[in-house]
Amino acid sequence: MREPDFPAPQRRGRGKSRFDDDEPYFLKRGRPTEPVLTEPDHEADPEDAWSSWDEAVHGPEPHPEWLVTELAARDTELGVLKTGKEADVHLVRRAVPDTDRSCLLAAKRYRDPQHRLFHRDAGYLEGRRVRRSREMRAMAGRTAFGRQMIAGQWAAAEFSALARLWEIGAASGRIAVPYPVQLLGTELMLEFIGDAEEGEAAPRLAQLRPEGAELRDLWEQLVDALAVLARAGYAHGDLSPYNLLVHRGRLVMIDLPQVVDMVANPQGPEFLARDVRVVGTWFAARGLPAAAADPAELTGLLLREAGIR
């Protein structure tokens, strides 16, 4: 997908060095990571909301069997999974009352225009365009309307990238990302990655201390995923051990709102090189041989996969 802009949402009817400055709160404070889950009610709680499925743009078809798409479903807020500068991620249970149909979702909600959006966002926005000059001027001037436009672009960019990468991963098995359930305004609902029964999120790579064969296997999975990204014309743009989950031995890439088109964005190769350097440094610090995690060699390989060299 190398279009210069991302599709606008349409309704369908009803201590040590850190590798990222947007860690979840529990990593900084040592607080519990999981929200407290409640048992499903037979009758809808007054605070529950009807499912927004019918109002939103949907993820790729066929939809996974676990996903609840019934219009009679209700969404129940269970707690906050992560807080960040640009968006908060909430845990939501979508269930059909009086049935056993339910699923857990991660609802990523980008902040309103009064909050600061992405640090260094000007570099990420290069290569993204909107068709109306008024909107471009508002975004460039960071007016309230322009900031809202930017927030919508982050959500749409992440939804589009996840949709394409999920389809590639489903076909090839070479990259794993959460299934993008739906997009509605600046809210993106995603597959919850973790233990659905306990509501326990999968750990981030930064929380683990893999060694030996496990470390090498995770590195090989990461190289495969980066090659898939490059072939699709992407760089993650902010890759670190904090936005890689490990679920049942599988590396899952998350947090792609700042995804960079390496052809349309003149800074694309620089973002790619930084991604590789950050994760390569982390793996090397855990004991991966320097030859296996050589940033310059891997960056060159990925640029060739992207057709830039």
How does pLDDT run across 139-194, given as a tens digit for each residue?
Answer: 444 445 455 556 668 889 899 999 999 999 999 999 999 999 999 989 999 999 99
Q: Between residues 230 and 151, which one has the greater pLDDT? A: 230
Output the pTM of the full model. 0.77
107 and 242, same domain (yes or no): no
Average pLDDT over residues 41-68: 82
197 and 255, same domain (yes or no): no
Q: Is the pLDDT of residue 126 over 90?
A: no
Average pLDDT over residues 243-269: 93
Q: Given pLDDT bands bounded at 50, 70 and 90, which one contains residue 112? A: low
In degrees rounded to 5, what are phi and psi of residue 60?
-60, 145
94 and 193, same domain (yes or no): yes
Max mean pLDDT among 123-132, 276-285, 288-297 falls in 276-285
101 and 229, same domain (yes or no): no
Cβ atoms 23, 241 nearer than 8 A: no
Average pLDDT over residues 219-235: 96
Q: Is the pLDDT of residue 39 over 70?
A: no
197 and 222, same domain (yes or no): no
Above pLDDT 90, what percent of the chain?
A: 60
Predicted local distance difference test score (pLDDT) of residue 13: 43
Residue in the structure block whose two tokens are 């966002």: 121
Q: Given pLDDT bands bounded at 50, 70 and 90, which one contains residue 198? A: confident
Q: Give the residue numbers spanning the domain of 91.
A: 25-118+161-201
**Token pair of 291 as six digits:** 């030859």
Average pLDDT over residues 8-22: 41
Predicted local distance difference test score (pLDDT) of residue 263: 85
54 and 172, same domain (yes or no): yes
15, exposed or middle or buried, with CB in 10 Å at 0-12, 13-18, 19+? exposed
283 and 213, same domain (yes or no): yes
Q: For the domain that residue 249 is a member of, what is the CATH number?
A: 1.10.510.10
76 and 111, same domain (yes or no): yes
Average pLDDT over residues 273-291: 95
Domain final position from 201, 232, 266 = 201
- If one counts the domains in the chain, the total is 2
Say if 166 falls within a structural domain. yes
Say if 130 falls within a structural domain. no
Say if 74 falls within a structural domain. yes
Predicted local distance difference test score (pLDDT) of residue 286: 95
Q: Is the pLDDT of residue 44 over 70?
A: no
Q: Given pLDDT bands bounded at 50, 70 and 90, which one contains residue 6? A: very low
112 and 244, same domain (yes or no): no
Q: Is the pLDDT of residue 201 over 60?
A: yes
Q: Is the pLDDT of residue 30 over 90?
A: no
34 and 177, same domain (yes or no): yes
Say if 135 falls within a structural domain. no
Q: Given pLDDT bands bounded at 50, 70 and 90, which one contains residue 37? A: very low
Q: Given pLDDT bands bounded at 50, 70 and 90, which one contains residue 86? A: confident
Say if 289 falls within a structural domain. yes
In degrees rounded to 5, what are phi and psi of residue 292?
-75, -30
Max mean pLDDT among 8-12, 71-75, 291-295 falls in 71-75
Say if 12 falls within a structural domain. no
In degrees rounded to 5, what are phi and psi of residue 13?
105, -140
Cβ atoms 172, 228 nearer than 8 A: yes
242 and 188, same domain (yes or no): no
69 and 176, same domain (yes or no): yes
Predicted local distance difference test score (pLDDT) of residue 111: 79
Predicted local distance difference test score (pLDDT) of residue 24: 39
Say if 111 falls within a structural domain. yes
Say if 8 falls within a structural domain. no
Q: Between residues 36 and 309, which one has the greater pLDDT? A: 309
DSSP per residue, the chain: ---SSPPPP------PPPS-S---HHHHH----SPPP-PPPSS--TT-EE--GGGSEE-SSSPPTT----TT-EEEEEEEEEE-SSEEEEEEEEE-TTSS-EEEEEEEEEPPTTS---TTHHHHHTT---S-HHHHHHHHHT-HHHHHHHHHHHHHHHHHHHHHHHHHHHHHSS-----EEEEETTEEEEE--EETTTTEEPPBGGG----HHHHHHHHHHHHHHHHHHHHTTEE-SS--GGGEEEETTEEEE---TT-EETTT-TTHHHHHHHHHHHHHHHHHHTT--TTTT-HHHHHHHHHHHTT--
